Amino acid sequence: MRPQPYPTISSQPATTSQPATTSQPGTSPPPPALHLLHGIWVASCPSCGFQLATARSQQRCERRGARRVCPVCHQDGV
C-alpha cells in the first residue's frame, strides 16, 4: 500500500472570502448583552464581548449599546 501524497494548494477547492453574517438581511441584530459591574451598566457585543457602551442607568446603557455597531465582528453585515 502506497502512502497518499500531500494535497497541494492548487488541488484545494477555492473558498470565498465573504464575511460571515449572523443575521439575515432585513432583520435587526441581537441586542447587546448588559452587565452590572460595580454600579456601572456595561453593554457588550453578544458574539465577541467587545464593550460597546457604559452608563449609570440600565435604560441609557441599552440605548447607547443599541446605536453602536461592533467594530470587531460587524454583526450588521456592514
**64 confidence band (pLDDT: 50, 70, 90):** very high
Local confidence band at 24 (pLDDT 50, 70, 90 cut-offs):
low
- Per the prediction, the chain carries an average pLDDT of 77
Dihedral of the CA atoms 50, 55, 61, 64 (nearest 10)?
-80
How many separate domains does the chain show?
A: 1
In a domain, 78, yes or no: no
pTM for the full predicted model: 0.60
Residue 4 located in a structural domain: no
Tell me the residue range of the domain where 47 lies.
30-71
In a domain, 37, yes or no: yes
